[in-house]
Structure 1
Amino acid sequence: MSRILLITRPKYDETTHYLFNWSQEIIELARKKSIQVLDLAKKRANRKELTSIISKKQPSFIFFNGHGSDDSISGEDGNVLIKIGKNEKLLKSKIIYALSCKSARKLGPQSIKTGAVAYLGYSDDFVFLYTPEKLSKPLNDELAALFLKPSNQLVRSLLKENSINDSFNRAKALFIKNIQGLLTSESSPYNYALPYLMWDLRHLTCLGDNESSF
């Protein structure tokens, strides 16, 4: 299996601004490991470019960042990249991680039916909290880190050639660690994040061949 990572990184609102910046460390790690990175950033995160680059480069791992629904994933300005009944066959023979809302509910299972190796994502909304004062420096936002570090842990683990199941469990373990840290802290200013962390943990989903690796 070729070591090519395709990543979509729209950046047009506060949510995608955070995901855009937090995914930069994934790109850096991949390049350190001599993995070819195909970065569809900002305006390039559109269906035409996605279709073209998948056809030409055949990446074996696709990391989607952006908004989603139970049957679709979106790119720049909310324009749909992948939708059931339209082009989910693009995901055939690929490992998918979708950091987007709800797509593991219907799009994930349908992708597996049409030949995706594995689909990791969320069966309901992916919720993360952030500090508005940190918008200009999202990587310094300790509140957002509680949510986005576990997500990145999943991808980092896959880049290190761990199995899908192992990577999935490592992400869950970091969610649990963050939850336990808040539960045992009497002084954390972020205790209100607990129900949202538990929500994301509960809805993180792994479908397909979980013994495969990238």
Structure 2
Amino acid sequence: MARKKSVNGNNHRRFRKASQRKPRKRSVSLEMDMVVLAIDAAFEIITQAGFNYRQDNVYPYLEQKGFSIQRSQESLARRLYVAPEARKPHVIYMTGVGHGGYDSYTGDFYDPIFSVGNYSTEECQGKIVHFISCETARDLGPDFVSHGCRAYFGYDENFTFLLDSADIFFECDSEIDRGFADGLNARQVHERVNVLFNKHIDALRKQGSDYKAATLEFDRDHLRGPLSGPQWGDPLASLTS
């Protein structure tokens, strides 16, 4: 229903003076400046396990810390959908679970999302990136850094875990996300992650679970980040500076 105009045409009460309007622009800008792009595959038992853990434990924590989550997950974890989001300047952090190779991170049904030689600089420049997948830190991570990525966290060989204790492995890896959300720099994040890895490794050994401990130790030793060398970025990079 259309609003009836006043008889004398005086509608000035409908409008606030500029000085009376509440400033909203800055609050919107702050939200936009803290966007996390979540790129998670979830199409089979391996990626589903990681996706479910991250949905319950990672993204709520990031939101609690004031980050806005842009989700390119499940069937949207494809290059067609991810690339335009990654190019947006307000995305400061990209994270996700998927499969991978030395030169590629893949999403839904192994769709290549980021591959060496097949992405634009804008997709990684000025961002911190963390992918939980196999092998991407060997070639893709350093390639990202050479194109302006501030810091890259990933694994240079297979990320291996056991389904009956998957949460332990995902907890250790997701300490990367929590550390950055807490305002730590890349060096501090890596150091904190190693502490958690070691805590669980020691606990598993005390329980007599030597195989699980050795598997977790393998993942710890093949985690790469700026603490591992400059090819993975700036050890002082953080989401708050």
Supply the distance in 1 between the matched residues of 2:49 and 2:85 (Cα, whole angstroms): 24
Pairing 1:196–2:218 present:
no
2:170 aligned to 148, 154, 175, which one?
A: 148
Give the match's secondary structure for 1:105.
Answer: helix
* 1:77 partner amino acid: F
Give the match's secondary structure for 1:38.
Answer: strand
Q: Aligned residue for 2:76? A: 44
Supply the distance in 1 between the matched residues of 2:82 and 2:152 (Cα, whole angstroms): 18
Is the Cα–Cα contact under 8 Å of residues 88 and 111 in structure 1 kept in the other structure?
no
Q: Aligned residue for 1:102? A: 135
Pairing 1:4–2:35 present:
yes
Cα distance, 1:144 vs. partner? 1.0
* 2:195 partner amino acid: A
Cα distance, 1:75 vs. partner? 0.6
Is the Cα–Cα contact under 8 Å of residues 180 and 238 in structure 2 kept in the other structure?
yes
RMSD value, Cα: 1.4
Cα distance, 1:51 vs. partner? 1.1
* 2:233 partner amino acid: G
Supply the distance in 2 between the matched residues of 1:39 and 1:64 (Cα, whole angstroms): 10
Normalised TM-score (structure 2): 0.79
- Write the mapping of 1:5-24 to structure 2, written as runs, cut at 5 A: 5-24=36-55
Q: Aligned residue for 1:120? A: 153
Q: Deviation digits for residues 165-210 of structure 1, max 9, x if unmatched?
A: 1111111111111111122234xxx432122111101100012011
Give the match's secondary structure for 2:136.
Answer: coil
- What is the aligned length? 200
* 1:37 partner amino acid: I
Supply the distance in 1 between the matched residues of 2:90 and 2:70 (Cα, whole angstroms): 10
Supply the distance in 1 between the matched residues of 2:45 and 2:234 (Cα, whole angstroms): 34
Is the Cα–Cα contact under 8 Å of residues 82 and 88 in structure 1 kept in the other structure?
no
Supply the distance in 2 between the matched residues of 1:110 and 1:155 (Cα, whole angstroms): 21
Cα distance, 1:57 vs. partner? 5.2
* 1:118 partner amino acid: A
Supply the distance in 2 between the matched residues of 1:115 and 1:39 (Cα, whole angstroms): 23
Structure 1 window deviating more from structure 2 (69-78 vs 50-59): it is 50-59
**Greater Rg by CA:** 2
Is the Cα–Cα contact under 8 Å of residues 34 and 90 in structure 2 kept in the other structure?
no
Q: Give me the identity figure in percent.
A: 25
* 2:140 partner amino acid: L
Cα distance, 1:4 vs. partner? 1.1
Higher RCO, 1 or 2 (CA under 8 Å, sep at least 6)? 1
Give the match's secondary structure for 1:30.
Answer: helix
* 2:204 partner amino acid: L
Cα distance, 1:120 vs. partner? 0.6
Supply the distance in 2 between the matched residues of 1:109 and 1:55 (Cα, whole angstroms): 19
Cα distance, 1:124 vs. partner? 0.5
Give the match's secondary structure for 2:88.
Answer: helix
Q: Aligned residue for 2:17? A: none
Is the Cα–Cα contact under 8 Å of residues 187 and 235 in structure 2 kept in the other structure?
yes
Gaps of 5+ in 2: 1-29, 226-231
Give the match's secondary structure for 1:157.
Answer: helix
* 1:200 partner amino acid: D
